Amino acid sequence: MTQTEQSWQWYDDNAGIYEELDPATLEFGRQLLDYADPVPGARLLDVGAGRGAVVRAALARGCLVTAGDAAPGMVARLRADFPTVAVSMLDAHRLDFPDACFDMVTAGFVIDLLSDPAVAVAEVRRVLRPGGVFALSVPGPLPHRGRWQWLVDLAQEFFPATVAEDRDGQTDVDVTGLLAAAGFTGLTHRDFEHPEPVSDPAALWDLFASRLPAAVSSGSVEWLPPDRAAEFHRRFLAGAEQMHANGGIAFDRHLTMYRALAPAA
């Protein structure tokens, strides 16, 4: 199974609880749509629509929305939640639409998950009309990552397979280069920060514990033996207590948004 397939499998497994696992999704979708700035009646395709954060915001602006995702569970939820939207299974590497049929394409947190993002960006250009808008987002920098190092170290010790190489939270995809290579023009970008405060160490543990079953079911982690689980719990609360006493607990979520134009005819 490729990394892309593993990503879609995780989203498929967690489609029913995705917005609970990541509450910032809705705000990130609103921000991306605001940055894209479609006019009412715009024909908009949302690639990797997930549970519909961008779809919801686009409908509120009066767009004519088409949405797709590679995860069957997400597609089923989209169809149930947005019965007026044309929803389909979608491979970002080969968009099953005619040339120049959309005014705008959005892709929130998608490009960095793909096996061949250059092919996907070329496909976006193909389905956009001349002068159409492509707006996408990727994970942004994490300037306060050092405050969470205690948890990174703890996860490395107890769940080593879950801790990837530290890239400061940023994607290694060269978005600017991809857009330029595909012929897009007028590129702009914007960073956005969305802090998520957590009231106290117990609340942080409850949040972690609520997400652990989904991680286990997806195969990302395995349940710890009882003695190891107790030790992890103790040290987790100790680290969280120290963080709480030194500036408070908050997830500082960041994204970087890009907006570019398909070349005019």
Q: Considering the entire predicted model, what is its pTM?
A: 0.78
pLDDT at 220: 64
What pLDDT was estimated at residue 250?
A: 85
Give, for all 265 residues of the chain, the pLDDT tens digit: 444 554 555 555 554 555 555 667 788 999 999 999 999 999 999 999 998 999 999 999 999 999 999 989 889 999 999 999 999 999 999 999 999 999 999 999 999 889 999 999 999 999 999 999 999 999 876 655 678 889 889 988 998 876 555 445 556 789 999 999 999 999 999 998 877 888 999 999 988 887 777 666 656 678 899 999 999 999 999 999 999 999 898 877 788 999 999 998 7
What's the confidence (pLDDT) of residue 68? 95
**pLDDT for residue 13:** 55
Contact yes or no for 132/103 (Cβ under 8 A) = yes
CA gap 50, 68 in Å, rounded = 8
- Pairing assessment for the beta strands 128-139 and 43-47 based on DSSP bridges: unpaired
Q: What's the rounded Cα separation, in Å, for the pair 16 and 37?
A: 29
Work out the number of other CB atoms within 10 angstroms of the CB of residue 211. 15
Distance CA 57, CA 53 (A): 7
pLDDT value at residue 146: 79
pLDDT for position 160? 84
Cα–Cα dist 135/113, whole Å: 16
| Spatial separation of the C-alpha atoms in residues 108 and 122, rounded to whole Å | 17
**What would the two tokens of residue 184 be?**
């897009």
pLDDT computed for residue 265 by the predictor: 73
Q: For residue 224, what are its two tokens?
A: 């710890």
Which residue from 94, 4, 88, 105 is spatially nearest to 54, judged by alpha carbons? 105
Question: Which residue has tokens 């160490």?
Answer: 201
- Whether the CB-CB separation of 95 and 125 falls below 8 Å is answered with no
Q: Which two tokens stand for residue 86?
A: 């044309």
Q: Report residue 27: phi and psi, to 5°.
A: -65, -40
pLDDT of residue 86: 97
Return the pLDDT at 152: 86
| First vs last C-alpha separation in the chain | 40
